[in-house]
Amino acid sequence: MVSIEEMAVFCKRKGFVFPSSEIHGGLAGFFDYGPLGVEMKNNIKRLWWKSIVNDREDVVGIDGALISPESVWKASGHVENFIDKIGACKKCKTKVKLDKHEIGIKKCEKCGIVYADEGELNPMFETSVGSTGVKDKVYLRPETAQMIYVNFKNVLDTSRMKIPFGIAQVGKAFRNEISPRNFLFRMREFDQMELQYFVREKNAAKIFKEWKKIRMDWYISLGIDKKKLRFKEHDKKDLAHYAKEAFDIEFEFDEFGWQEIEGLHNRGDWDLSQHEKFSKQDLKYFDDQTKEKFIPWVVETSSGLDRAFLTFMFNAYVEEEVKGEKRIVLKLHPDIAPFRIAILPLVKKDGLAEKGREIFDELKTNCNAFYDDRSSVGRRYRRMDEIGTKWCITVDYQTLEDSTVTIRERDTMRQVRAKIKDLPDIIKKLSEGEKLETFGNFIK
């Protein structure tokens, strides 16, 4: 059991995530990823992109602008409908976002008083462009999806895609949340990994089901405990303004229970129809076989990258006792961990460091590797356990005699001896799920 506060402290201590602008007092809802965090975040992004775009023939990607004119957000319905209700505690002055069922009912957790209705907030960040005279009102995007719709025609005209097909995007989204909280869970600037998959109306329900499975399987394939994942269907009367059907993928966090990490929506033809209306451009799809012209329906999968990061961290974090001492282990999937392997010479002297560097230089071209020759090897193993490095390769005196090293596995702490020349192949096979004992007897 680890609290969200403890996780935030751990992430800061190890260099995963820092509160943003902390030396200037910080800013609630904004975080910076540190040296380890950025590696892990990039891994998550890359794996999502691989599974959604690179491994498929029916999805292409884009990278859209962060700022767009007001007309985009009028068309999408965000100017009119993207509204949060504000609740305020009369005693401690805390402000919270209330859903429509909570108004006049929900009580302040600290003071036990019903939150007073403080009106509404459109959480879009508004700014302006232009240097003189009347400036144009623009918004920072509150979701990445709209950049996909405004580029629908461009992609269609240039990529030879045929329905059903998808457009994917990973990038920043901005929401002026009333009460940013729970560390990376509710931020004001965050990353989304979104797919808009364009289909015929008659196939939408079936394809929606298929994407639900694909997305759930993705988390499981990367080591998230099945028992801590579930779907939650949105009540029809609570659907977002664009949705016909919606499910969340939820993860059970230690401290605050089941929470949404990804939203899947059947968006109907709402978005493209709206952009067609507001832009007065023809956004219909033409089927050159059947000669039909129509606005496609959209199946959306929308994952929060920071929530995925938090999910992987909570799922992996373990504290255990080894020989009377506390050991923290991040049991991350090796594809997600900041480093797949570490090269650790037993000592720095007698040519071991040079040998270690030689091995590191060769292996680092194939995977994220870490080199460390300072402090006792036991301490270095613990440090690697704490940041999720799956395999430690140790260079010792025997290495100089027979060109072998030890490979230590993070979770079991067991070791085998292997030849240096076999390491690239062994690491590849271990990463594919092969057991360590395949490559030698465990060292006693």
Cβ proximity to ligand GAP: between 303 and 389 the closer is 303
| Contact range with ligand GAP by CB under 6 A, out of 5-13, 95-103, 187-195, 311-319 | 187-195
Question: Is 275 a residue that touches ligand GAP (CB under 6 A)?
Answer: no
Assigned token pair, 291: 């000669």
We find the least distance from the C-beta atom of residue 184 to ligand GAP, in angstroms, to be: 7
User: What are the start-end ranges of the H helices in 317-374?
Assistant: 352-363
Cβ proximity to ligand GAP: between 304 and 356 the closer is 304
The residue nearest ligand GAP at its CB is: 304
In 82-218, where do the E strands start and end? 84-88, 95-98, 116-121, 126-129, 136-140, 165-174, 189-199
We find the least distance from the C-beta atom of residue 201 to ligand GAP, in angstroms, to be: 20
Among 33, 61, 66, smallest CA distance to 46 is for: 61
State how far the Cα of 365 lies from the Cα of 171, in Å rounded to an integer: 27
Helices 4-14/305-316 angle, 10° precision:
90
| Contact range with ligand GAP by CB under 6 A, out of 65-73, 296-304, 374-382, 398-406 | 296-304
Question: Is 186 a residue that touches ligand GAP (CB under 6 A)?
Answer: yes
Question: Is 306 a residue that touches ligand GAP (CB under 6 A)?
Answer: yes
> Quick one: which of 17, 44, 204, 261 contacts ligand GAP (CB under 6 A)?
261
Specify the DSSP class assigned to residue 186. B
By CB under 6 A, the count of residues binding ligand GAP is 19
Cβ proximity to ligand GAP: between 45 and 357 the closer is 45
Helices 35-49/305-316 angle, 10° precision:
110
Question: Is 304 a residue that touches ligand GAP (CB under 6 A)?
Answer: yes
In 116-188, where do the E strands start and end? 116-121, 126-129, 136-140, 165-174
What does DSSP say about strands 59-61 and 165-174: parallel, antiparallel, or unpaired? Answer: parallel
We find the least distance from the C-beta atom of residue 290 to ligand GAP, in angstroms, to be: 30
Cβ proximity to ligand GAP: between 192 and 368 the closer is 192
Cβ proximity to ligand GAP: between 173 and 346 the closer is 173
State how far the Cα of 41 lies from the Cα of 37, in Å rounded to an integer: 6
Question: Is 302 a residue that touches ligand GAP (CB under 6 A)?
Answer: yes
We find the least distance from the C-beta atom of residue 52 to ligand GAP, in angstroms, to be: 15
Cβ proximity to ligand GAP: between 168 and 346 the closer is 168
Tell me the helix, strand and coil percentages in the chain, rounded to 5.
Answer: 35, 30, 35
Helix (H) or strand (E) segment spanning residue 75: helix 70-75
We find the least distance from the C-beta atom of residue 92 to ligand GAP, in angstroms, to be: 22
Cβ proximity to ligand GAP: between 190 and 253 the closer is 190
Question: Is 175 a residue that touches ligand GAP (CB under 6 A)?
Answer: yes
We find the least distance from the C-beta atom of residue 306 to ligand GAP, in angstroms, to be: 5
> Quick one: which of 88, 140, 145, 204 contacts ligand GAP (CB under 6 A)?
145
Question: Is 362 a residue that touches ligand GAP (CB under 6 A)?
Answer: no
> Quick one: which of 118, 252, 260, 372 contacts ligand GAP (CB under 6 A)?
260
Assigned token pair, 400: 């100089």
53 contacts: CB under 8 Å, gap ≥ 6: 59, 60, 61, 168
Question: Is 140 a residue that touches ligand GAP (CB under 6 A)?
Answer: no
391 contacts: CB under 8 Å, gap ≥ 6: 334, 340, 341, 342, 407, 408, 409, 410, 427, 430
The site for ligand GAP (CB under 6 A) is made up of 143, 145, 175, 177, 186-187, 190, 192, 194, 260-263, 300, 302-304, 306-307
